[in-house]
Amino acid sequence: MWWPNRLSPSAGGLSPGNFVYRGSGLLKELSLFIDESGDGNSPQTRYFLVTVVMHNQSEKITDKIISYEKSLVLADLPNIPFHSEPLLNGHGVYEGISIEIRKKLLYSFNVLVQRLPIRYRTLVYRHSEYGDTQTLASILRRDLTELLSGNLEFFQAFEHVKIYYDNGQDTVKRALYESVESTLSKQAIIRKRTTMTEYRLAQVADYLCTIELAAVKYAARENGGTYDKFFGGIGSFKKNWLKQARRKAIG
């Protein structure tokens, strides 16, 4: 199958060389931006996904974000915070915005994602596999620990690992704390988003989580008409949107 079970396909492991690496000392800060799809506490949630986006703070991305926002102005598109699910469904701040404009907004954000120096991993769980919150917490902690230990050299190259996770599902938060502190012997610091780059990177995690959820639903033939309207059907989705996203994925 081409879709992930728990882990996204590899696009190569991590090393400090994947990002800017200056000198022989430790890099200052690695930021992890977390987004999830589904409610791990709800039996009505068929799929629960957690996406971790990694960004070395020594690699500045302000210029890329400014270029993205300028492109919106030139295309006469609204510069509003990017949120995948409301965009696809025309809800919230996207209410009243035509599907043609929303398609252009989705495409423009995809272009930004491709230009950013980030990597990501998406963990995918089915309620039929974990059954209850306690089991989910255990599996999630195991898989996050595997992510860290499998790329230990990379993560240990940083003085600080800071986590940006606003949604606050306790199952995810505890798994993040425990896996970082036990594997890296570093305190996991949960931070709020305060800068333009932090807000945009949180939106990148949202975008990638939605792409991976679409992959799962296409594979299960549960995609419905909305995905087809935006992604052009399973063939176009796999060839373009999913392929482009997974260039940023890690093993």
Domains and CATH numbers, the chain: 16-246 (3.30.420)
Helix or strand run (H / E) with residue 35: strand 27-37
**Contact (Cβ atoms closer than 8 angstroms) between residue 7 and residue 125:** no
Starting at the edge strand found earlier in the chain, the sheet holding 27-37 runs 119-126, 47-56, 27-37, 158-164, 189-191
Cα separation, 207 vs 85, in Å, equals: 9
Q: What crossing angle do the helices spanning 224-231 and 99-115 adopt, rounded to 10°?
A: 70
Cα separation, 214 vs 160, in Å, equals: 33
Cα separation, 203 vs 32, in Å, equals: 12
**Contact (Cβ atoms closer than 8 angstroms) between residue 2 and residue 219:** yes
pLDDT of 27 reads 75
Q: Which residues contact 67 (CB under 8 A, 6 or more apart)?
A: 115
Mean pLDDT check: name the lowest of 2-6, 126-130, 207-211: 2-6
Q: What is the mean pLDDT of the chain?
A: 87
SS3 content of the chain, % helix, strand, coil (to 5): 50, 15, 30
Model-level pTM greater than 0.85? yes
Could you tell me the end-to-end alpha-carbon distance of the chain, in angstroms, rounded to an integer?
17
Cα separation, 100 vs 76, in Å, equals: 12
Tokens of 62: 């302000």
pLDDT of 24 reads 47
Q: What is the tens place of the pLDDT at every residue in 172-221?
A: 888 988 898 889 887 777 777 889 999 999 999 999 999 999 999 999 99
